[in-house]
Amino acid sequence: MERRHFLASGLLAGFDAQCPSLTQSLLPAFTHSDRGPLKPFYSPPEPTQVGPNGLGFRVPVRSNQTNGQFSCMEGIMGPKLMGPAPHVHKELDELMFVQEGTVSILVGDKVYEVEAGGWHLRPHGLVHTFWNATDKPVRYIDMFFNQDFENFLEEMFARLIPDLMKRGVSLTSKEATDKMNALYTRYGITMFEEQRQPIMAQYGLKG
């Protein structure tokens, strides 16, 4: 048995009885044998830059460093801030680890309060979002499986939105919404923008 397949079987066997759907979701990420051997790499510590809106992220592990198996981001969210509108991913599975503070995560109609040291899995196909309802910043690591989602984040928040703002184009304009919708489609994301404001009102959040 190929070493990677052997490791995958050993690592995931314990999950199978308890979480068969999770096992089936993550198994392909461990068993790519047609992309060549993984190479070791080191991602040095760097400060996460926070924008004027209180949000910030950096990407310490990229999917092209792991043969497309995995990537992750380190995120910061300021006090009383809303995350993205509720949305659903066609392919992406997300696993969040909260480093500091408490992150509120909505999946379907259930809200999870994930404290520092806690983990939360958001499988694809389920409507979800998250926010910071506290008076202190939160820090977290969001891990991505089955998709190079770090490229979506950088294209949206480091290129598309800054370019629109630099040119004075409203983010609610037709140009902006058309470009954002094209990006969502490319990455298999369906957004439910109309659900964002009611959450903000309920928890006293800023956008």
- CATH number of residue 89's parent domain: 2.60.120.10
Rounded distance between C-alpha atoms, residue 85 and residue 200, angstroms: 10
Q: Which domain holds residue 20?
A: 1-34
| Residues 102 and 112 sit within 8 Å (Cβ to Cβ) | no
Q: Tell me the pTM.
A: 0.81
Q: How confident is the model at residue 3 (pLDDT cuts 50, 70, 90)?
A: very low
The answer on 178 and 127 residing in a single domain is yes
Residues 59 and 28 reside in one and the same domain: no
Whether residues 30 and 63 fall in one domain: no
Tell me the pLDDT band of 52, cut-offs 50, 70 and 90: confident
Q: What is the pLDDT of residues 170-193, one digit of tens each?
A: 999 999 999 999 999 999 999 999
Is residue 41 one of the residues assigned to a domain?
no
**Which one is predicted more confidently, 59 or 207?**
59
pLDDT tens per residue, range 64-90:
999 999 999 999 999 999 999 999 999
The more confidently predicted of residues 118 and 37 is 118
The C-alpha atoms of residue 75 and residue 161 are separated, in whole angstroms, by 18
pLDDT confidence band for 34 (50 / 70 / 90): low
Say whether both 15 and 75 belong to one domain: no
pLDDT given for residue 24 in this prediction: 54
Q: Does residue 5 register a pLDDT over 90? A: no
Instruction: Decide if 43 contacts 61 (C-beta within 8 A).
Output: yes
- In the predicted model, is pLDDT for residue 129 greater than 90? yes
Q: Rounded distance, CA 128 to CA 140, Å? A: 17
